[in-house]
Structure 1
């Protein structure tokens, strides 16, 4: 195990953006147990900091994440007589790659460069949005080695791209390029090589301009509908009840902002500035 204290880097900005970077480029940012713990702690710290509004996850050195560190897994196997070191699910909030069992409470963007494969693909699914560089590759590469998806891949991937496309990726393990990922909804935007993080930061700044409470309630309702709703009626009830809170908290002020001239003809210019008046 070679994860020092700098295996995960966290940077915060005064305007409220937290950038979390996996810093193991010598392993293509593969995650060992120590790194998994640090990733979990970093995202939990972002969640618990009221001054930080938007999170970004990226990787250092031109690769997002190559999944679990198989060198570490092999060493475990050599010392365990074939027995798994994995802990039972119940009672443990940290997944094998760290934050995979979290339902992150604030908007979260993944800036994907190079490879996002196996557990790295699963980590990218934590993002509400994925900014993917044009030469990036995503895929369930662990299919080759008999390593299963245990960090949310079978849960989140089908919710994002649909069951049929998810099964294609999961069963074949094949590489998916950026443009195909964009076409299936796995990538939110495709950008030139080297620009994923910059675009993620620009997008985060756009989100910061909007009324926060309303945006987060709508986001929460989307995830409730995708994962928790027991019926269409249940999902609609959750959406309405959350929406009422937003109307009371922000919509009246938002209407006043519109009356001052913001947002006419679909314009987003000055919305944030007028909202804060």
Structure 2
């Protein structure tokens, strides 16, 4: 697909995007943002791909916007897809962030865009752009508070301090904490688990969560009902009941 600054790999149903600018700690310039947009649009539109993973090359996740390309990036702020290429997209499929090293500034905003975050013990998180007057415009002010709560979100947003992988895990910012160098392996393991489930029901349940954010419970329950009815109409539930009656998934087994 003609990428220069990212690497794209397909493993079965899993789509892996690696930001590949290690000399810049995987900072994203305008060209990289365009490549990331093309990659995630391809993933969204490919029916054979079920789960995405985003990660970084060379021991770091991403240091966010490349400040050496700030003019072009700031011109992208009004773009519907977001300055970094994809952070305002709502995909219909889940994405996992596999994190090591620096996950800061816009890199942290990318990690927040993902549904699940897997970090190894070298990971560091923070909005370091606070020091330079760079605004959070890739979802950081909106997603972080939804994940860790108001107090902790404002702490990171206002102080610009770094937190460790262990602290991020305690906060619930990180879902899985693994040994150094194992974040991608664990992410693939989780992605393959998710890929094995009936996909339409899984995606409808995921979207019901996002569509219900900020809504009163009564409205959220209606959203859930409508998404549930869509899932029922796919017939996946009847296939699942048939497999259950034949002995699948008993005693806590996943399949």
TM-score by length of 2: 0.94
Cα distance per residue 1:68-117 (max 9 Å; x no partner) = 111222xx49xxxxxx952462xx32322111111121010010110110
Aligned residues: CA RMSD: 1.7
SS in structure 1 of the partner of residue 201 of structure 2: helix
Counterpart check, 1:106 vs 2:93 = yes
> Contact 2:77–2:83 (CA<8 Å) still a contact in 1?
no
In structure 1, distance between residues paired with 2:241 and 2:3 = 48
In structure 2, distance between residues paired with 1:19 and 1:185 = 24
> Contact 1:37–1:94 (CA<8 Å) still a contact in 2?
no
Change beyond 3 A, Cα 1:257–1:154: same
SS in structure 2 of the partner of residue 125 of structure 1: helix
Of the three residues 4, 7, 12, the one matched with 1:6 is: 4
SS in structure 1 of the partner of residue 27 of structure 2: coil
Counterpart check, 1:43 vs 2:28 = no
| Per-residue deviation, 1:236 | 0.5
In structure 2, distance between residues paired with 1:43 and 1:87 = 17
Of the three residues 258, 261, 264, the one matched with 2:247 is: 261
User: 1:80 is matched with which residue?
Assistant: none
User: 1:193 is matched with which residue?
Assistant: 180
User: 2:217 is matched with which residue?
Assistant: 232
| Per-residue deviation, 1:183 | 1.3
Q: How many pairs are equivalent?
A: 253
Q: Relative to structure 2, which stretch is displaced further, 237-246 or 107-116?
A: 237-246
In structure 1, distance between residues paired with 2:129 and 2:51 = 30
Gaps of at least 5 residues in structure 2 are none
Summarize the alignment of residues 75-154 of structure 1 with structure 2, pairs less than 5 Å apart.
76=71, 85-87=74-76, 89=78, 92-154=79-141
Gaps of at least 5 residues in structure 1 are 78-83, 272-277
Change beyond 3 A, Cα 1:88–1:19: closer
| Per-residue deviation, 1:257 | 1.2
Cα distance per residue 1:235-276 (max 9 Å; x no partner) = 1101011112223421122111111112222221xx1xxxxx
User: 2:159 is matched with which residue?
Assistant: 172
Structure with larger Rg: 1
Runs of 4+ in 1 over 6 A off after TM superposition: none
In structure 1, distance between residues paired with 2:99 and 2:74 = 29
Change beyond 3 A, Cα 1:256–1:123: same
User: 1:250 is matched with which residue?
Assistant: 236
| Per-residue deviation, 1:5 | 4.1
